Structure 1
Amino acid sequence: MNFISFLLFSALYTCLASRLGDRTLPELSASGITTLITTPDPIKNVDPSNPASHLSKILIPRVSDTENNTIVRDYIVSTLKALQWHVEIDEFTDKTPIGTKRFRNIIATKDPTASRRVILAAHYDSKYSATYPDDQFVGATDSAAPCAMMLDVAEALNPLLDERKKRLDEGLEDDEDVADTTLQLVFFDGEEAFVVWTATDSIYGARHLADKWASTYLSPHGKRRLMGTQSTELTGIEHLILLDLLGAPQPSLRSYFLDTAWLFDALVSVERRLGESGAFAYGEEQGMAPEKWTTYFQPRTELKINMGYIGDDHVPFLERGVPVLHLIADPFPPVWHTLKDDATALDIPTMRRWNLMLRVLMSEYLHLRPEDAQPHSAVRRDASEL
């Protein structure tokens, strides 16, 4: 992670960034929100004290090209395959300051036949230490917790996405934009620098995948309604929503880009509605009760918008015109890149709140109908069962 402060020029905003434009997301009904915030339990997937939780499975040292990195990758892949998502491993090698390393991005797509997708992303590797195993960074906020949140979104929305697909197949859904858009999860490998953050020693996975997708051309088909005659994997991305440094209590986040300011505002709206409804209140934690909770989001002002951004996995996509919503704590958590970024740095009410907000935001983005959902039980299997 590295802070870059510089002006963003309008040349970054291509026709792709403005293809869909600002829009208002349909707000879920009260009953829909009630269903969404209770099923599945929004804590079980991010509880570090539960050895079966997604977070516990990820919260180990997991430096790129190590055995632990493979363990975590296999867990993420097996979890998503159990939900019947299409999973692809983008494997490649690259030179690093400590030698050639092998990296593997995880790309999970709910409906690989869709022509467009909204991406929820985070990196799953952890910081390298030259003194390993004496120093073992587990990167709880950076970014084990965000990865666990993504798996929670997949588990919570999976039956709703299945029901939407059934409606589409039966001709009961007439919204073409909904039909053309699916949810994709990307877990980047190699975000962390091995020595010092530079343009070449950082975001290995993101740089490789952005370049690969920019040069992977697609054959046209009936559902694809993209601009231009030569569509690539990159042009099918509606938005990239990147999560990083989340899970510590009371984070502060801001909007960085004009073309996704409306999406930032949509998340602020989700937070407000959930907070006012009492959904954030948890156990004896009264700081999130109605009229007591405080926002995680900084007000948008003309002075802040587009005056600089934080270097992260989104940059190679941003440079190629992909609209980005970067959800990262700023300032960084005080435990950032220290051995204290472990389970003790995380706050369960905060992670629960993130789970609720992400479930609602992505449901509204994809026009899901949780109020019509049938009760379901989560499907969980170990990699050995697949």
Structure 2
Amino acid sequence: MEIVGCPRQTPMQKQRFVTAFHRNALRNTTIVFLISLLQTGPVRAAEAKIWEDFSGDKAFAHVQRLVDFGPRPAGSDALEKSRTYIEEQLRRYGWNTRRQAYTEDTPRGKTHFVNLIAQFGAQKKAASPVFLLCTHYDTKVFDTIRFVGANDGGSSTGLVLELARVIGQHPTLAGKVELVFFDGEEAFEQFSDTDGLYGSRYFARHLQGSGAKQFRGGLLFDMVGDRSLGITLPNDSPADMARDIFAAAEALKLRSYFTYLGRDLIDDHVPLNGIGIPTLDVIDFDYPWWHTADDTTDKVSGSSLQIVGSIALYYLSEIALK
């Protein structure tokens, strides 16, 4: 039998036809397979474990850069250089930063302070952030020692900058987060109602009321780079947040690095909790070099920053903001 109007094919022509047919079929199958990979790519990316993207080495590099500016007390030129550096890094990662500047009376006279507040992207119609990630970036002023605050002021700032980089690669998550770098956490003399926590108090005063209701919670990071890491949550930690951060640490098999301090602590989380934003102070207060000239980068470890950063990202993506 043959098709009318078509010439009879020789055996060789038939073999060539069959071979070409199989080649085309294989090529078409390959194309379909590649297209399916492209189509499923975004889904797989969305399922990526975001906490695995955090780099302790990158966070440590930020710490080193900040320490290179020297002591960074409120109102100093070195702190202004730190501000510029922080703003530049955030801009690279897709965050828009605004300066919240103010002047306060201190035991050393009127002092100029600047909080840095960052939100992701430039879309005016984007949903408002609902969660705060905070740190202080100043160092305590001393007249008798050179205090560069590698861990106290440096480590948490480096960590939040690296969190900004990683979170910025996930726009949906980033849109839910506001970053705050507090100035003036350190007291000039001794913590009191009028000395210390200048930045967080000012931020809280201007947010209280309807503004505070926007945020369902926050994490404050302070002294998180100790080579001998042991995060000590204060007793005044919101119970449900402490439970969840412990759960995040447990999920990553890092629970042994987290415990309770055994007492309350005066830190930047206090004003935020005071206006109704449940905020957890993630801090390692068991640090022998606190407020000494020996708080230098050799006491800080990228591995410790890796641990805290990974747990924070797991907590955010899998629990708090899922």
TM-score in terms of structure 1 length? 0.65
User: Does the 8 A contact of 2:248 with 2:314 survive in 1?
Assistant: yes
Match of 2:257 in 1: 296
Match of 2:252 in 1: 274
Match of 1:320 in 2: 275
User: Does the 8 A contact of 1:116 with 1:238 survive in 2?
Assistant: no
From 57, 62, 82, the equivalent of 1:44 is 57
Report the AA paired with residue 203 of structure 1: L
SS at match of 1:337: coil
Count of equivalent residues: 272
Q: Distance in 1 between matches of 2:129 and 2:170?
A: 18
Give per-residue Cα distances to partners, 1:194-224, cap 9 Å, x unaligned. Answer: 122222110111111111112xxxxxxxxxx
User: Does the 8 A contact of 2:234 with 2:265 survive in 1?
Assistant: no
Give per-residue Cα distances to partners, 1:105-124, cap 9 Å, x unaligned. Answer: 00011267423421011100
Give per-residue Cα distances to partners, 1:65-118, cap 9 Å, x unaligned. Answer: 111000111111111122221211100001111111100000011267423421
SS at match of 1:146: helix
Taking a change above 3 Å as real, the CA distance of residues 72 and 317 of structure 1, as seen in their structure-2 partners, is same
Q: Distance in 2 between matches of 1:359 and 1:200?
A: 34
Match of 2:295 in 1: 341
SS at match of 1:159: coil
Q: Distance in 1 between matches of 2:160 and 2:211?
A: 21
Taking a change above 3 Å as real, the CA distance of residues 256 and 299 of structure 1, as seen in their structure-2 partners, is closer
Q: Superposition pairs for residues 129-208 of structure 1, below 5 Å?
A: 129-131=142-144, 135-161=145-171, 182-208=176-202
More helix by proportion, 1 or 2? 2
From 344, 353, 371, the equivalent of 2:307 is 353
User: Does the 8 A contact of 1:143 with 1:246 survive in 2?
Assistant: no
Taking a change above 3 Å as real, the CA distance of residues 255 and 190 of structure 1, as seen in their structure-2 partners, is closer
Give per-residue Cα distances to partners, 1:284-309, cap 9 Å, x unaligned. Answer: xxxxxxxxx76122279xxx6xxx52
Q: Distance in 2 between matches of 1:250 and 1:208?
A: 31
Match of 1:128 in 2: 141
| Structure label with greater radius of gyration | 2
Q: Superposition pairs for residues 252-267 of structure 1, below 5 Å?
A: 252-254=231-233, 256-257=235-236, 260-267=238-245
Whether 1:89 and 2:80 are equivalent positions in the alignment is no
Q: Distance in 1 between matches of 2:164 and 2:313?
A: 9
Q: Distance in 2 between matches of 1:242 and 1:256?
A: 15
1:137 CA drift (Å): 0.9
In structure 1, stretches of 5+ residues that fail to align are 1-28, 48-52, 166-180, 215-230, 276-292, 368-386
Give per-residue Cα distances to partners, 1:247-270, cap 9 Å, x unaligned. Answer: 111314236347x32222222222
1:192 CA drift (Å): 0.6
Give per-residue Cα distances to partners, 1:158-192, cap 9 Å, x unaligned. Answer: 11125x68xxxxxxxxxxxxxxx711111000011
Give the superposed CA RMSD.
2.6
User: Does the 8 A contact of 1:255 with 1:264 survive in 2?
Assistant: no
User: Does the 8 A contact of 1:193 with 1:203 survive in 2?
Assistant: yes
User: Does the 8 A contact of 2:135 with 2:221 survive in 1?
Assistant: yes
SS at match of 1:77: helix
Between the aligned residues of both structures, percent identity stands at: 26
Report the AA paired with residue 207 of structure 2: W
Whether 1:57 and 2:65 are equivalent positions in the alignment is yes
Q: Distance in 1 between matches of 2:302 and 2:169?
A: 25
Q: Distance in 1 between matches of 2:51 and 2:277?
A: 29
In structure 2, stretches of 5+ residues that fail to align are 1-44
1:142 CA drift (Å): 0.9
| Larger RCO (CA under 8 A, 6+ residues apart) | 1
Q: Distance in 2 between matches of 1:69 and 1:125?
A: 7
Q: Distance in 1 between matches of 2:149 and 2:106?
A: 21
TM-score in terms of structure 2 length? 0.77
Q: Distance in 2 between matches of 1:263 and 1:129?
A: 35
Q: Distance in 2 between matches of 1:85 and 1:117?
A: 16
